[in-house]
Amino acid sequence: MLNFTFSNKTRVHFGENQISQVTNEIPLSAKVLLTYGGGSIKKNGVYDQVIEALAKHTVFEFSGIEPNPSYETSMKAVALVKQENIDYILAVGGGSVVDASKFIAAAAEFNGEPWDILAKGAKVESAVALGVVLTLPATGSESNGGAVISKLATKDKLAFMSEFVLPQFAVLDPSVMNSLPARQLSNGVVDAFIHTTEQYLTYSVNAKIQDRFAEGILHTLIEEGPKLFTDEKNNDVNANVMWSATQALNGLIGSGVPQDWATHMIGHEITITFGLDHAQTLAIVLPRLLWEMRETKQDKLLQYASRIWGINEGDTESRIKLAIEKTEQFFHSVQMKTRFSDYQLGEEVVEVIVSQLERHGLTQLGEKQLITLDHSRNILKQSL
C-alpha cells in the first residue's frame, strides 16, 4: 500500500426528510446564498423544503447554473457574494451546482484572477463556507474537495482541488431521485462506476481494504443500477445507488492506491468540444482504454474479471476481453450508449480531441503516465 493521509470532514445527513437538518447546520447569523440550476428543484419540492428549513435565515438566491457549469456564470455569482457579504453558500442540485458553488466560494476570497485557480493551479487559501443538498447522485462532489469548471470562450474544462471547498455538510435524501429523468439516472450510475474503476483498475499495491471496498461499490451498482429503470425501483434502490456514488469519490477507496483518471481527462475534452454529458463520454472511452492498456493493467483486470464478473477460465487476453464486454453490456443495461456513432459523431472527433489534449498538456496520462497522444488517438478511433 502507498503512504497516504486521509480526512473527510463532510457531515452527511442521509435519508428521507433530512433536508430539515439544514436549519441547524447553518448558523442563524449567516448570510446565505442558495445556489441552484435550471429549476428542477422547484418542480420536485426540494426548493420548498430548503426554503422552509431556512425560514429564519437571511437568504439570497442565485439560479441558472448550467450542466457542466461555466466560469462565465460562476463569476456572476462571485459578484453577488462580494456585494452582499455572503458568508455561507448552500448548493442545491447535482454535481454541476455543487462544483460551481465550490468555485464561487473560492473565487470570492481569491486575490487575483480566479481563472488561475483552474488554469495555473493557483493556490486557494480560503473559501466561503459551503453546504450541499444533493439532488443527483453521480459525481461524489458532495463530499470531496474537487470541482470542474468550463470556460466556454476558450473551450477549457478544467478541475481544481482544495480542502477549503470541501462541503461542511451534505444532505442525501434518496427520495429526491424520483424526479430524475432516465438520462440522469444512467449518468449517475456510470459516473460512480467509472470513478471506482479509475482508482481500482491500475496496478496492484496489495491494498486489500481499498480493493474490497471498490469491488463492493461495483457490485452494488451492477446489482442495483438496472433496477432504477424497472418497476423494482424504490427508495432502497435509490439509497444504495446514492451511497455508492458518494463512496466512490470521497477519498476513501483512492487512499494509498495508484489512480488513473485518463478516461476522465479524455472525457472532459469530449464534453467541452462536442457537448456530450460527462458520463456519456466516460462510457465511450473506458472500454477501449482498458483494452489499449491491458498489458500494464493486466493483474487488476484479471482480478476485476474474476471478482466482479466471475470469469476464471481461458487465457489472459480472452478473460480481459470478456470482462470489458461485460462492462459495456452493463452500461447498456443502465441505458447508456458506448460509441461516438450512437451520438451521430464520427472520424472528425479524433484529431479535435487529440489536439485539445495536447493543448492542455495531457500527453502522458494514466497511473504510469504511459497514455501518450498516440494511445489516446487509438482509443478514440476504436471508440467510433
What is the rounded distance in angstroms from the CA atom of residue 190 to the CA atom of residue 286? Answer: 11
The residue (of 141 and 376) whose beta carbon lies closer to ligand NZQ is 141
Binders in 108-167 for ligand NZQ, by CB under 6 A: 135-136, 138-141, 144, 146-148
Helix intervals (H) in 44-124: 46-53, 71-84, 95-107, 115-119
- Candidates 166-174, 183-191, 295-303, 323-331: pick the segment binding Zn ion (CB under 5 A): 183-191
Q: Is 180 in the site for ligand NZQ (CB under 6 A)?
A: yes
Which partner in ligand NZQ, Zn ion, none is near 146 (CB below 5 to 8 A by kind)?
Answer: ligand NZQ
Q: DSSP for 236-295?
A: HHHHHHHHHHHHHTSSTTTTTS----HHHHHHHHHHHHH---HHHHHHHHHHHHHHHTTT
- Which residue, among 376, 327, 328, 323, has the nearest Cα to 350 in the 3D structure? 376
Which partner in ligand NZQ, Zn ion, none is near 367 (CB below 5 to 8 A by kind)?
Answer: none
Which partner in ligand NZQ, Zn ion, none is near 211 (CB below 5 to 8 A by kind)?
Answer: none
Contact between residue 171 and residue 132 where contact means Cβ atoms under 8 Å apart: yes
Provide the CA 102 distance to its chain's centre, in angstroms.
14
Q: How distant, in Å, are the alpha carbons of 81, 349, 356, 380, 384 from that of 344?
A: 41, 11, 20, 15, 10
Contact between residue 128 and residue 88 where contact means Cβ atoms under 8 Å apart: yes
Q: Is 191 in the site for Zn ion (CB under 5 A)?
A: yes
The residue (of 99 and 269) whose beta carbon lies closer to ligand NZQ is 99
Which partner in Zn ion, ligand NZQ, none is near 162 (CB below 5 to 8 A by kind)?
Answer: none
What is the rounded distance in angstroms from the CA atom of residue 288 to the CA atom of residue 116? Answer: 33
β-pair partners for 252: none
String of contacts with ligand NZQ for each residue 22-61, x by CB under 6 A: ---------------xxxxx--x-----------------
What is the radius of gyration, based on Cα positions, of the chain? 20
String of contacts with ligand NZQ for each residue 182-201, x by CB under 6 A: --x--x---x----------
**The one among 47, 54, 67, 88 contacting ligand NZQ by CB under 6 A:** 67
- Candidates 36-44, 185-193, 199-207, 366-374: pick the segment binding Zn ion (CB under 5 A): 185-193
**The one among 192, 217, 249, 290 contacting ligand NZQ by CB under 6 A:** 249
Q: Which residues bind Zn ion (CB under 5 A)?
A: 191
Q: Which residues bind ligand NZQ (CB under 6 A)?
A: 37-41, 44, 67-68, 93-97, 99, 135-136, 138-141, 144, 146-148, 176, 179-180, 184, 187, 191, 249, 264, 278
